[in-house]
Copies of this chain bind each other. A is one copy, B any other.
């Protein structure tokens, strides 16, 4: 409640002008060292704090970047955000975070909040059923950079940071084939966005390449929660011709499914082999360990933030790669698992 100290207060006390104080505080070269020291000391003494609004208002920028994600509380997202925070913080930027909770409506609200907050740029992973990015036009039209990551949307002005979900899906299914599976099932996510659709398409292609059919019976689409994994297992148990391999588009769901199958005596991977996606810590806990696609969250966040910052600083508006592919990696947990079980004996 005590009145805030401004540069005028410092100026008055030192018989200087506010302009000089401002320059002194900023380390402007034209201020003598002794004056600068007096200014800085007095500022501290009086308990001065910089007023970033006034500065923002004057400079027309905020040093803030906005982040919109579907959910904050997933392993991948919190890693990604941790990476962004690191990079942004080091560069003197603050981050404002909001979550859409997978709702396009809430996403739209978040967009306009961040728009009004005048963030300097935006890092976005879309809600799963967002099918248009017209809401982002207001940013794009003003040359405020928007970078999509993970759940992306193609737009000539917006860089994308992703992994090659198509190839990863292909590799996952191919891996199961190489292990001898011939009835390979897929449990996939919402097909509105690109991510899960591409994983699915990669899976289909792998099956075709091996002369297998990706039949409808071998497909379940869900929200990929742990619980839906359990339900999927129930469906599998009821099937006449069971799959001998399952590629699940995320680990939590895969593990829910595996646990339920194991509970009913299904041998994994002998009877049904699994490949998941995300390399969730749980994948190393379940037995047998889950083979999965590793996918660098923190790195993706760092890269996204770095890219956004470079867009902010240079004006090379069109001088970027449209799509940045980060390497993913299939973590084959079979071999290590066999080694582990040998050790136990």
A interface vs B, CB < 8 Å? Answer: 1-2, 4, 47, 49-54, 56-57, 60, 62, 64, 71-75, 77-79, 81-82, 85, 89, 94-99, 110, 113, 115-118, 138, 141-143, 226, 252, 255, 259, 262-265, 281-282, 284-287, 297-298, 340, 343-344
Q: How far is the CA of A116 from the CA of B43 in the complex (A)?
A: 14
Set B1, B96, B115, B286: member contacting A285, Cβ < 8 A = B286
Partner of A85, one of B98, B138, B252: B98
List the B residue with the shortest CB-CB distance to A280. Answer: B281
Among B4, B73, B282, B340, point to the contact of A82 (Cβ < 8 A). Answer: B73
Establish whether residues A118 and B52, one from each chain, have CB atoms under 8 Å apart when the complex forms. yes
Least distance between A158 CB and chain B CB atoms (Å) = 17
Chain B residue with minimal CB distance to A143? B1
Across the two chains, which residue of chain B brings its CB closest to A281? Answer: B282
A60 to B60, CA, bound (A): 18
CB distance from A60 to the nearest CB of B (A): 8
- Docked CA distance A103–B113 (Å): 32
Expressed in whole angstroms, the minimum distance between the Cβ of A299 and any Cβ of chain B is 13
A125 to B101, CA, bound (A): 24
Q: In the complex, A264 Cα to B57 Cα: how many Å?
A: 64
Known: A285-B282, A343-B263. A81 touches B85 (CB 8 A): no
Q: How far is the CA of A259 from the CA of B72 in the complex (A)?
A: 29
Query: In whole angstroms, how far apart are the Cα atoms of A113 and B85 in the complex?
Result: 13
List chain B residues, Cβ under 8 A from A143: 1
In contact, B71 and A82 (Cβ under 8 angstroms): yes
Chain B residue, CB-CB nearest to A80: B73
* Interface contact B118-A51, CB-CB below 8 Å: yes
Q: How far is the CA of A52 from the CA of B99 in the complex (A)?
A: 21
Residues of B within 8 A of A72 (CB): 78, 81-82, 85
Taking A54-B57, A118-B51, A282-B285 as contacts, is the C-beta distance between A113 and B98 under 8 angstroms?
A: no
Residues of B within 8 A of A259 (CB): 284-285
Interchain nearest-CB distance for A287 vs B (Å): 6
Q: Find chain B residues with CB under 8 A from A79 CB.
A: 73
Per the bound structure, the CA–CA distance linking A72 and B117 in Å amounts to 23
**A96 close to B99 (CB less than 8 A):** no
A52 and B287 CA atoms in complex are apart in Å by: 53
A44 CB, min distance to chain B CBs, angstroms: 11
Whether the Cβ atoms of A53 and B49 lie closer than 8 Å is no
Distance to closest chain B CB from A59 (angstroms): 10
